[in-house]
Amino acid sequence: MAHNTEYQAEIETEVIFTATVTVLNDWGLHARPAANLARIAQGFAADIYLNAGEHNANAKSILDILTLAATRHTTLTLTCLGTEAKEAGEAILRFFAGK
Amino acid sequence: MKENLKKHRILTGVAASSGIAVGRALFINRASGGSFSTEIIHPKHFVREEKRLERAVADQACEFENAETKVRGMSQEQSDLLEAYSMICRDPKLMELARKAIRQDRLPAGLAWEKAVRSVLKSFEKIDVPYLRERAEDVKSVGSRVAARLRGRKAEPSPALGCRVIMAHDLTPADTLALAPENILALATEMGGQTSHTGILARGQRLPCVVGVTGLEEAARDGAMVIVDGIRGLVIVNPMPDELAAYQKKQELLNLFEARLRQEAHLPAKTEDGCRVRVYGNIETTNDALRIRDLGGEGIGLYRTEFGYLSRLDLPTEEELYADYTRIVRGMAPDRVVLRTLDIGADKSLAGIPKLEESNPVLGLRSIRLSLYCPDLLRSQCRAILRAATHGNAALMFPMVSGLRELRQAKGIIEEARRELLERGEPCAENLPVGVMIELPSSVFLAPALAKEADFFSIGSNDLIQYILGVDRENKYVSYLYQPLHSAVLEAVRQVVEAARQAGIRVSVCGEMASDPFCLPLLMAMGIDEFSVTPQAIPILKYLIRRLNMPELRKLLAQVYDKVSTETTRRLMEKYMNGRFSQELQFINLGAKEDA
């Protein structure tokens, strides 16, 4: 899994972290990676979202991630808001990069 | 309803695990546990309902998380499944939806939870990736267990209740894992068939079990006295005193017989006149393998590798398969382990395999055909098998081979897998024996040709009978036509044995026919000397073999060839075996079914 762009900014007091990530593993975000991703996201205070087209998923919800139906090569937009947004964003990029 | 409370009822189901139990019933999971109150709640109760909801969710999640410590020898798949269950249970999305239903729709906790689950299930329906859509089943399973808690019904029998006969509408893998076996006398469920998860678990724990019991929920109340007859597939609710006495007597005799079987289990499978045959076990999981030796099995004649694929949410990796296979091959060494490659149809959903709407799946993309359609999958499995085979005495077997072309193609994939391993510098087995399952009539006709390119044959009698006679034995309108002693079936076995003998390869029988006491003598007389049966049948099979003698069996076979009528064959075999084993046969589940 890899990310293409990375953008970071601070608007007023809220930290925003966004990036584009591509799902690279064979079976997409199926149950086990979805569980791992949700567990990583749950470790941060930030609000973390993954967008694919019109679907917007809370990355802390395994059910949301599964219903994204992100198969291999799907491109997702990652958005983290609030406290720990940067740390959360980086952790999630690491997840998509495969470590 | 009240007057039915003590009503005597005899219910029939499918005998899924042998044995007899007498005790009191405890329901843990009814189809409809009564509906929730539909009254809207007063805003002052919002917090109370939210607390109830949080409590039920947390308790349920804890139960999933603790199940692992309670169940010894849980497989990696089962433990992954439980982890996914607990994450679904604690999912923030579900909780958010349920809270909204409490505060906005003013629903009590139970209804609010059910609404949230329905809403999530709806979004799953829209998924067009089958293996992700299928996860809706996990959501349902988790959802119903939390709902049961909100109804005030605890899913787990409390140890204080003592030993009980556990009854349920249906048991999910998570339900059965959460049960403490030491508190269970027997299992009975309204749903399910012989191959259901409940039956597998019951056989593993040696608990009597009857599944598919129509009317169970209506007839049996918590605390009712019940008899579970796992030999004949009966559940007797509120038995009469004479029935109770008869069953207690039968239970004693059964215990004595089983003790005898255990004593003899390790003696060789040798007939009275000294003809030595081999008895192997059919297994599905690494846990099953542990029992084979205890039961007197001389190896594993059929390792159904499907479980490693189906019992999980994604596809197993080569490393995971290698670890599983190695554990079994190494554990059984120097005894033989025959691994059958993936044998499922496109009707079963498997991560990464197209789920097809086939009008006739039995004749469709299944078994070796599916493996050849998804060669990556087969290659990965072959690599795992080739590597595991270096740790002991393993063999590989292809299911449902229809002819030479398929066999050669499949063997080609083994060679590709071997090359890949060599490139990686991975050790792999040099001379892995490759066998063919004889399950299709075409493979019977082509047996002489197949025997030249296969290292052994294994007759998968269940499918072979189904395809020869054109009968689905699960279809109650035609199941009477499913006859293992049909003259055409016996002729097919004879031809296969003959072809194998000509080519000098071994032939075994690994379907139910091998453990059918009325077929066994004829198979032995025809020259079958390897039988692979469901593990719990190993001791009884050896017991019977040790009391037979070949000259007599050959005489029987000659009589059968002489008569040609299926009905006379059946009568002849019943007369012979009932004459020899009148006591023992009453303890054998003659309707036992098993996939092979």
pLDDT tens per residue, range B295-309: 999 999 999 998 888
Helices (H), chain A: 31-42, 62-67, 85-97
Averages of pLDDT over runs of 10 residues in chain B (596 residues) are 67 89 83 60 89 91 75 62 86 94 91 92 84 80 84 52 79 66 86 71 82 88 90 93 92 89 92 96 85 93 88 82 95 96 78 74 91 93 98 97 97 97 95 97 98 98 94 82 94 97 96 92 96 91 96 95 87 94 80 46
CB under 8 Å to A64, separation ≥6 — which residues? A57, A58, B93
Contact state of A63 with B94 under an 8 Å Cβ cutoff: yes
Distance from C-alpha of B167 to C-alpha of B218, rounded to nearest angstrom: 12
Helix (H, G, I), strand (E, B) or coil at B318: helix
Mutation choice for B interface testing from A62, A65, A72, A74 by most B CBs within 10 A:
A62
- CA distances from residue B264 to B258, B295, B300, B505, B543 in whole angstroms, order as listed: 10, 10, 19, 30, 7
Catalytic residue among B374, B382, B428, B510: B510
Amino acid present at B575? K
Contact state of B352 with A27 under an 8 Å Cβ cutoff: yes
Tokens of B425: 């510098």
Tokens of A54: 């019109």
Amino acid present at B83? E
DSSP B478-513: TGGG--TT-HHHHHHHHHHHHHHHHHT-EEEE-SGG
Contact state of B92 with A35 under an 8 Å Cβ cutoff: no
**A58 touching chain B per CB within 8 A:** yes
DSSP B246-292: HHHHHHHHHHHHHHHHHHHTTS--B-TT--B-EEEEEESSHHHHHHH
Contact state of B128 with A28 under an 8 Å Cβ cutoff: no
The owner of tokens 């075996």 is B577
Q: Which of B120, B126, B313 sits opposite A30 (nearest CB)?
A: B313
φ and ψ at B141, to 5 degrees? -65, -45
Distance from C-alpha of B244 to C-alpha of B236, rounded to nearest angstrom: 9
Distance from C-alpha of B394 to C-alpha of B290, rounded to nearest angstrom: 16
Helix (H, G, I), strand (E, B) or coil at B441: helix
Mutation choice for B interface testing from A23, A25, A29, A30 by most B CBs within 10 A:
A30
pLDDT for position B375: 93
Q: Å from A54 to nearest chain B CA?
A: 13
What DSSP character marks residue B433? -
- Size (chain A), residues: 99
Catalytic site residue B391? Answer: no
Helix (H, G, I), strand (E, B) or coil at B99: helix
Nearest to A17 by CA among A97, A91, A68: A91
Nearest to B491 by CA among B542, B592, B561: B561
Catalytic residue among B45, B163, B197, B275: B197
Distance from C-alpha of B554 to C-alpha of B586, rounded to nearest angstrom: 26
- CA distances from residue B36 to B26, B111, B113, B151, B291 in whole angstroms, order as listed: 22, 7, 11, 7, 45
User: A66: which chain B residues are within 8 Å (Cβ-Cβ)?
Assistant: 124, 127, 132, 135
Instruction: Please report the ipTM that was assigned to this predicted complex.
Output: 0.81
Tokens of A94: 């690491």
Q: Count CB neighbours of B275 within 10 A.
A: 16
What is the pTM for the complete model shown?
0.66
CB under 8 Å to B506, separation ≥6 — which residues? B456, B457, B500, B529, B530
Closest chain A residue to the Cα of B116, Cα to Cα: A63
DSSP B226-258: EEEETTTTEEEES--HHHHHHHHHHHHHHHHHH
Catalytic site residue B486? Answer: no
User: Which residue spans within B287-341 are E strands per DSSP?
Assistant: 299-304, 336-340
**Is residue A8 within 8 Å of A17, Cβ to Cβ?**
yes
**A28 touching chain B per CB within 8 A:** yes
Distance from C-alpha of A41 to C-alpha of A49, rounded to nearest angstrom: 9
Q: Count CB neighbours of B380 within 10 A.
A: 20
Inter-residue long-range contacts of B427-431, CB under 8 Å, 24+ positions, other chains counted: B427/B387, B427/B390, B428/B383, B428/B386, B428/B387, B428/B389, B428/B390, B429/B386, B429/B387, B429/B389, B429/B390, B429/B394
φ and ψ at B86, to 5 degrees? -70, -35
Q: Which of A11-15, A44-48, B4-8, B166-170 has the highest mean pLDDT?
A: A44-48
Going by DSSP bridges, is the β-strand pair B225-229/B20-29 parallel, antiparallel, or unpaired? antiparallel
**A24 touching chain B per CB within 8 A:** no
pLDDT tens per residue, range A59-68: 999 999 998 8
Contact state of A62 with B132 under an 8 Å Cβ cutoff: no
Helix (H, G, I), strand (E, B) or coil at B323: helix
Going by DSSP bridges, is the β-strand pair A2-11/A14-22 parallel, antiparallel, or unpaired? antiparallel
**Is residue B329 within 8 Å of B299, Cβ to Cβ?**
no
Distance from C-alpha of B19 to C-alpha of B209, rounded to nearest angstrom: 8
Tokens of B344: 């499922």
pLDDT for position A8: 45
Tokens of B386: 């080739």
Tokens of A46: 């930030």
Amino acid present at B137? E
Distance from C-alpha of A89 to C-alpha of A77, rounded to nearest angstrom: 11
